Amino acid sequence: MSMGAIVMMIVGIGLLWGGLTASIVNAVRKSRKTA
Amino acid sequence: MDRQQWGTRAGFILAAVGSAVGLGNIWRFPYVAYENGGGAFLIPYLFALLTAGIPILIMEFTMGHKYRGSAPLTFFRLGGKKSEWIGWWGLSVAFIISTYYAVIIAWSMRYTIFSFNQAWGEDPEAFLFSEFLKLDVAPGETGGMVWGILIPLIIVWGLALGILFKGVKKGIEMANRIFIPTLVVLFLIIVVRAVTLPGAATGLNAFFEPNFDLITDPTIWVAAYGHIFFSLSIAFAIMITYSSYLSKKSDITNNAFITGFANSGFELLAGIGVFAALGFMATQMNVPVADVADAGVGLAFAVFPQIINQFPGMNGLFGVLFFLSLTLAGLSSLISITETYVAGISEKFGTSRSKAVVFGGGLAAIISTLFATQGGLFFLDAVDYFINQFGVAALGLVEVIMVIWILRKADGLRSHANLTSDIKLGGWWKFCLVFITPIVLGYMMFGLLKQNILQEFATDTGNYEGYTTTFVLFGGVAVAGAALILGILLSLTKWNKKHASFNEEDKKVG
């Protein structure tokens, strides 16, 4: 894989999965148990 | 009787993610990204997610939560008869989509069984069109019924309506609690196996290699906004309906961020799995990835069976995992699409949920048999294109203009969301909905109208997929137009007296 492709893969995974993880952690931290 | 509610916050999020994650995440996103700049596409894609996808999702979650009704009831309570028709239009679009979406799930179900012994043989493409779909009629002709599709279609509708019968908490929430974690696990296995295949790096390189020259091309920005729009299940009644089952004190904004990021995270994962597998196939055939890259029905039911044929071992297992993933992703979305009109019918006419499931779901199931005929694929393709472009995308534009520009509800909705949400909405949210979304969607709709009216497709007829003008008019345009007319007509009927009025003060949280 080229360096550009590797960087974009890391950036894409980092931002999307990082964003998801941060949102879930935020929700858990507020510890709302009900919908 | 009290309005039904989700049992837990996780239950709601799983149902919303289940709705958003559908067939398009697996078979549409990878190819759209690949065709529009590869890794560079991620920039407009992320921009579209944060400036249109998540803001509209927050708007719809807030509308459902505040006005506590199906899409038509929510729009009725929001702006009276002046806006109710938009809710019914969305519901009609959802009804039409459900009729053909169920058929694709039926194909996936059948292919899961085919995977055990690779029943598609050495030429999966010929098998798909000749033996499985029996597609030997011209576009516009139905031909005979294909029993090999009809039987799994009956099972699909049986499962979906059975789950809807059980209600929101015991049916939809319970099903998604099983479907979504299973889907994630299955797909993780697929991705891990795909990236360890010989040639996977070639496929991933083709998928992620950035072409930054395209970043200034408006086409890729429109493609990114268009994809985010279709991918998130926004603008056709689903998210409004689902959020109307939230409890009064539930979070809105953070739930929208989780749903949006989960949907995009999943489709990026799907892109990795699909292109790693395509890289393997290209390497085996000694051709460039561009020669095997495909999207939609072709990718899932012709290219993937070919990849499965070439697998170094456990071919059947990989096939079962892939088609079972498609089935689960499709089923969770079909349930959400059908729930929109079950809720709408039940509230407008004051019928029980069971009767609404039987009437609405039953009617959709009967109509869906059209797509189980020999000419079903042509009808499906035309209806899918026109209902998405002139149903979902047009609805999104009209919805934002009505709610934000005409009814001027942005500040009210923002205050409502901020009452219960972990993340407080600032001016950015309003800015995105007032300016960015209408401008991008307006530009997109203008381009689409121009392309279709002036017949600018690069085909023999100038029409979409080279179809005849008669077929395009009756098989596509008329269906998309019928959704709008049906929506307007339904909005003219009277509300059941239980839902005829709404006092905003009653619904304030606190």
- Cross-chain Cβ contact B205/A12 below 8 Å: no
- Cross-chain Cβ contact A33/B9 below 8 Å: yes
Buried b / exposed e over B195-219, threshold 16 CB at 10 Å, is bebebbbbbbbbbbbbeeebeeeee
Could you tell me the residue ranges of all domains in chain B?
Answer: 9-505
- Cross-chain Cβ contact B205/A32 below 8 Å: no
Q: Give the model's pLDDT for residue B19.
A: 96
Q: Is B150 on the interface with A (CB under 8 A)?
A: no
Comparing alpha-carbon positions, the chain B residue that sits nearest to A6 is: B208
Residues composing chain A: 35
Q: Is B7 on the interface with A (CB under 8 A)?
A: yes
Neighbours of B159 (CB within 10 A): 18
- Residue B373, phi then psi, degrees to nearest 5: -95, 175
Comparing alpha-carbon positions, the chain B residue that sits nearest to A34 is: B8
- Cross-chain Cβ contact B38/A5 below 8 Å: yes
- Cross-chain Cβ contact A4/B210 below 8 Å: yes
The whole-angstrom distance between B210's CA and the closest CA on chain A is 6
Q: Is B44 on the interface with A (CB under 8 A)?
A: no
DSSP state of B166: T
In order along its 510 residues, chain B shows pLDDT tens digits of 578 999 999 999 999 999 999 999 998 999 999 999 999 999 999 999 999 999 999 999 999 999 999 999 999 999 999 999 999 999 999 999 999 999 999 999 999 999 999 999 999 999 999 999 999 899 999 999 999 999 999 999 999 999 999 999 999 999 999 999 999 999 999 999 999 999 999 999 999 999 999 888 888 998 899 899 889 989 889 999 999 999 998 999 999 999 999 999 999 999 999 999 999 999 999 999 999 998 889 999 999 999 999 988 888 999 999 999 999 999 999 999 999 999 999 999 999 999 999 999 999 999 999 999 999 999 999 999 999 888 888 999 999 999 999 999 999 999 999 999 989 998 999 999 999 999 999 999 999 999 999 999 999 999 999 999 999 999 899 999 999 999 999 999 988 877 766 665 444 443
Q: Is B248 on the interface with A (CB under 8 A)?
A: no
- Cross-chain Cβ contact B38/A17 below 8 Å: no
Q: Give the model's pLDDT for residue B239.
A: 96
Determine the Cα–Cα distance for residues B315 and B321; give it in Å rounded to an integer. 10
What is the CATH code for B9-505?
1.10.4160.10
Pull the structure tokens for residue B343.
């809720």
Least CB–CB distance from A15: residue in B11, B39, B46: B46
Q: Is B27 on the interface with A (CB under 8 A)?
A: no
Contacts of B205 in chain A (CB under 8 A): 1-2, 5
What's the whole-model pTM score? 0.94
Residue B499 buriedness (CB in 10 A; 0-12 / 13-18 / 19+) = middle
The whole-angstrom distance between B164's CA and the closest CA on chain A is 20
Contacts of B255 in chain A (CB under 8 A): 27
Dihedral (CA of B75, B77, B79, B83) sign: positive
Q: Give the model's pLDDT for residue B497.
A: 78
Least CB–CB distance from A35: residue in B8, B257, B422: B8
Q: Is B47 on the interface with A (CB under 8 A)?
A: no
**pLDDT by residue (tens digit) across A1-35?**
899 999 999 999 999 999 999 999 999 887 555 45
- Cross-chain Cβ contact B250/A35 below 8 Å: yes
Pull the structure tokens for residue A3.
């360096």
Least CB–CB distance from A8: residue in B12, B208, B250: B208
- Residue B22, phi then psi, degrees to nearest 5: -140, -160
Contacts of A14 in chain B (CB under 8 A): none
- Cross-chain Cβ contact B254/A8 below 8 Å: no
Long-range contacts of B422-427 (CB under 8 A, 24+ apart): B422/A26, B422/A27, B422/A30, B422/A32, B422/B251, B422/B253, B422/B254, B423/A26, B423/B253, B423/B254, B423/B257, B424/B253, B425/B58, B425/B253
Q: Give the model's pLDDT for residue B509.
A: 46
Least CB–CB distance from B204: residue in A9, A30, A34: A9
Determine the Cα–Cα distance for residues B206 and B210; give it in Å rounded to an integer. 9
Pull the structure tokens for residue A10.
């890391």
Determine the Cα–Cα distance for residues B255 and B264; give it in Å rounded to an integer. 14
Query: SS3 breakdown of chain B: % helix, strand, coil, rounded to 5?
Result: 80, 0, 20
Stretch 390-429 of chain B: residues touching chain A, C-beta under 8 Å: 422-423
